Structures are given as C-alpha cells and as structure tokens.
Structure 1
Amino acid sequence: MSQKVILSADSPCDLGPELQRRYDVHFYPFHILLGEASYTDSVDIQPDDLYRAWRERRLLPKTAAVTPLEYAEYFRPWVEAGYEVVHVSIGSALSSGYQNCCVAARSLGHVYPVNSCNLSTGIGLLVLRAGELIRQGMPAAEIQQTLNALVPCSHASFVLDTLEFMRAGGRCSAVAAFGANLLHLKPCIQVHTEKEGAMGVGKKYRGSMETVLPAYIRDQLSAYRDPVPDHVFLTHSGVPENWLQVSRKAVEEAGIFREIHITRASCTISAHCGPGTLGVLFLTKS
C-alpha cells in the first residue's frame, strides 16, 4: 500500500478557499510585520488592512518567512503519523522560505520541498498539479521530481496600476514612479523562473487599466506555445470589478482554458505590489 501524501504550500500561493478544499491543500502562512506588531498572513490581517495602514499612518508592511523551527513543528505531526509531505515554496530569490523548509526537511525526513521559483498563483499552478498526482497515487519523491521539471512551465506576470507601494518599499526610484505616472504607463512585471523567481520589467503599456488589461492578457497568452488548458488564474491585489470583467472577457475570447479562476492575492504578495495589480498566470506543456 502506498504511503499517504500530504500536500502543503506557502500562503503566497494565493489559491483561495475553494481550490484549497478541492485539492486538500494545507497552507503555512508567512509573517506580516506592521509597525511593532506581527501578524499571520490572511489569518488575522488582510490586504486592505495593509493599504489602510499605509494611507492613514504611513506604516509600510514588511514580510518575514517561516523559520526552520516553525516548518519542523508544522511538518512533525504528519511525519510522526507516517505520512510523506510535499511542500511547494515561494521562489528562493524572493524569500528564505525554501531554504528554511529544506533545513526542516533534512531534520525530519519524509518531507519533499519544491522551489517553485515563482510567486502567487504561479506557485498555485504547481500545487494543483501536485494535488492531481497525489490522487493518481504517485509517491512524494516522484511528485517532487515532476514539479521540479514543471517549474519553467509556470508563467507569472502582473500589470501595476501604480508604483506607489514599490517606490515606498525601495523597489523602484521616485523618479521612475513619477515618470510612469506622468506618462500613464502601466509596467508589466515578469517572474523569471530561470532566476529562481527574480522579477523584471517587461512591456510598458500606456492608457487606462480597462484598456491595458485586455491587451496585456492577449500578449501573454500569445507569447507561449501550447498552454495547458486546465486552469488559468486572474490574480489581483484588490481592483475594481470592471477590471475583472474586462480581464475575464479577454481570457474567454482566447478560447483556451476550461477553468478561469479569479483569486485575491495574499498579504505577502500585496505588501510588495500594493493595490491595483492584476496578473494572468498559466502553465504551458513545455
């Protein structure tokens, strides 16, 4: 009889409660630091709380990864009960979470960490595939190997309406933010899996987000051959409903995907990009 496999992921996978239940995923929340207080991502603090703290008190949120000890205590009950655990982490270029998870895995055994080299539902796409493989009865070690090979096929990008949060956090200069706002530019941020999740600026769009988002989505979907038709995510950090509607319509018009999921980004992701950010995320076959 094959050993039971537990599926786990860092909270920034942004899958949302429906998919979490469907694929029986356990989330380990990252830490959110706001002023002198520490919170648990999307448990006792929500993204809108972060935005309110910045606008009202000029408190900029910070994030902190799960420590090796915290991971070990989280995994231990499953391991001692005879389970194997597959845990999918946020990209190692973005956080120390994966390295910390590996430390815990070595101390316990029977834990198989995966470096997603990604963020948000770019992680979530790998988690969904892991859930499908668990249902097929694949052992944890083979799931880890399969996901490692799939990492370059998970494509994540986002368009930002404003660079306010990124400028405040030191991730772009005040001059660059001012220039983008002045010219009504909406930069596309690409996640580079070959650089373990490091991000870079891609195409810069001009105009309102209602105009930019459909163009951005068409560009992303046409940039890659052989998209996997099972799932596509529209993940956002808090946007108006009409932005979601025009984005969903653009995906539907492409006629590729069986399931279109709209999910809200966790505090970990929202703390860095701020409100008004939306991305399209999907897998390709190669």
Structure 2
Amino acid sequence: MNKIKLITDSTSDLTPDLVSKYDIEVLPLNVHIGDKTYKDGQDITLSQMYAGVKAGGPFPTTSQVNPQEFHDAYKKYLDEGYKIISVHISSLLSGTIQSAEIAKDMLESEDITVIDSQGVSAVLLLSLVEAGEMIKAGKSYEEVVAGIRENCSRTKVLVTFDTMEYLVKGGRVPKSVGAIGGFLGIKPLISLKEGKLEMVDKARGTKKALKSLLSFVDEAQVRPGTKVVVINSLDSESNRALCAHLEEKGQSYLEIQVGCVIGVHAGPKLTGVFYLS
C-alpha cells in the first residue's frame, strides 16, 4: 500500500485537530506589517492584526509560500517513501501553487501531484478531510487524487463581508465601488467561479446579507455524512445566527476562524458557508 502524504497551505484554515487526525503538513503563507514578516497561523493572531490596523498601524500585505519551503517539505517526505498530494489556494488568488510547481520541477519527481483547488479556505479543508478519510480507508493514490479534484469542484460557497474597506485596501475592489458600498451599507455576497471571487449578489445592510446566507443553507443539498463549514473573521451576530440556524435544522457543522492571510482581504466580521454537494 502506498504511503500518501497530504500537504497544503495555511489558507486551508484547517484546525489543529484536523491537522493531527489526518497528519497533514501545512505550509504557512506570509503576512507583512511594516518591516516585519509573520507566518500565517503561527506568529500573529487575527485579533492582533486587526487591532494594529485599528490603531493606525501599517496595513498588512501578504505573500505566497516560497519554492524552497515546498522543496524542503517535498524532499523530506519523498526521502521517507511517501507519495505526495499537495493541495493549494486557487492560482488566481495567490502565487503559492506556482511555488509548489517550481519545487516539483526542481525535484524531478513523479511522486508529487500538485492540485489547484480553484478555491480557498473550506474548499481546501473539505477536500482534505475527505482525502484523509480515503487514505484511512486504504484507497489508492490515484483514487485520492481524483477524489480531491472532484470534491474541490463540488464545493458550494457563499460569503458576505461586513465592510469593503479591506477589499479596497487589498486591491480586490476599486475605491469608487468601496466608497459607494460603504455609504449605502452594501454587503457584497461572494462565491467562487473558476478559481476567482465573484460577486453573485449584494444586500443592503447586515440583516439582508444574513437572510441570503440562511436561504443558501436552507436550499443546500449537503452530501450525506459531511459537515457544513461556517467561517468567520472574528465573531459576529451574523456568525452566531448562522450557527444557531444550522443547529435548529439539525445540520452538523464545523465553525472555523480564518487565518490572517484571508483576514487581510476579508476584514473583520466575515461570515461564510461552504458545503459538499
């Protein structure tokens, strides 16, 4: 039986329990604040980062995992006899997957498969959890690779942002759109399409945005035996209402706080839903 190692990056938002349960290697992206660099999920918390921005400090920026970090991780597990499946944030959202491909080429190994999830956060998390279960069940390397690709493509997503300020500062939304959105209290409703963030609707105010998320949950055809994932960037009334709604429906779910890299672009009080169909 093949020894299979799952590798991902910190935008997967895997909890420590899931990392341990499925023995997944997580390589952190970088958060830059002024002249300091922090490893996502290791050196700085979301609360600390937002507090710095609120206090007037420099606005954070982010950067990808570098090729050498991938090279070192890949070589370690290849030397231990593993075949590697490396699953990462959409190539249209980060250069991380390009670093992974460079490292694979450096090692000239056929025992590394690099997968573009065409998503972020729980798109990766859900596919990795399913992959971990497949490995535990003794599925082949090829079956696990195929399963990850299929699950990434079958993950449904809807996310709303409390503020457009961070999207504007991060260059994801034009300043003019952000100014109008802020003035009118517009909350964008975002999904993922072909690896890109896409605004599928917009709501006037937090209550209407929450209503859209609840409708999304009510209409969801969640794959039996899987959990819905609720993400947030700091707790909020919308986040708590969404979790309460899932509990009332009897739908099992996992609540996740995103890391600093996603938090830089999302801003505080992000609320989102992911599920496998």
Length-normalised TM-score, structure 2: 0.92
Report deviation, 1:124: 0.6
RMSD: 1.9
1:36 and 1:136 map into 2 onto residues whose CA distance is: 47
1:244 aligns to 2:239 (yes or no): yes
Q: Which amino acid aligns with 1:205?
A: A
Corresponding residue of 1:169 = 170
SS state of the match for residue 199, structure 1? strand
Q: 1:234 aligns with which of 230, 236, 247?
A: 230
Corresponding residue of 1:205 = 203
The verdict on how the C-alpha distance between 1:224 and 1:234 changes in structure 2, with shifts beyond 3 A counting, is: closer
Report deviation, 1:140: 2.5
Partner deviation per Cα, 1:218-245 (whole Å, 9 max, x = no partner): 33235554544411111111123x4332
2:34 and 2:27 map into 1 onto residues whose CA distance is: 22
1:264 aligns to 2:265 (yes or no): no
Q: Which amino acid aligns with 2:160?
A: V
Report deviation, 1:250: 2.1
Q: Which amino acid aligns with 1:46?
A: T
Report deviation, 1:170: 2.4
1:123 aligns to 2:119 (yes or no): no
Answer whether contact 2:162 2:267 (CA < 8 A) is retained: no
Corresponding residue of 1:33 = 32
Corresponding residue of 1:278 = 271
Answer whether contact 2:189 2:209 (CA < 8 A) is retained: no
Partner deviation per Cα, 1:206-227 (whole Å, 9 max, x = no partner): 2335x632x2223323555454
Q: Which amino acid aligns with 1:71?
A: F
2:152 and 2:85 map into 1 onto residues whose CA distance is: 15
Q: Which amino acid aligns with 1:177?
A: G
1:82 and 1:251 map into 2 onto residues whose CA distance is: 42
Corresponding residue of 2:65 = 66
Q: Which amino acid aligns with 2:229?
A: F
Alignment of 1:21-170 (within 5 A): 21-108=20-107, 109=109, 110-170=111-171
2:170 and 2:253 map into 1 onto residues whose CA distance is: 32
Q: Which amino acid aligns with 2:258?
A: A
Report deviation, 1:252: 3.0
The unaligned stretches of length 5 or more in structure 1 are: none
Q: Which amino acid aligns with 2:209?
A: V
Of all paired residues, the percent bearing the same amino acid is: 25
1:277 and 1:37 map into 2 onto residues whose CA distance is: 25
The verdict on how the C-alpha distance between 1:92 and 1:122 changes in structure 2, with shifts beyond 3 A counting, is: same
SS state of the match for residue 189, structure 2? strand
2:154 and 2:140 map into 1 onto residues whose CA distance is: 22
2:77 and 2:262 map into 1 onto residues whose CA distance is: 28
Q: Which amino acid aligns with 2:102?
A: V
Length-normalised TM-score, structure 1: 0.89
Answer whether contact 1:112 1:140 (CA < 8 A) is retained: no
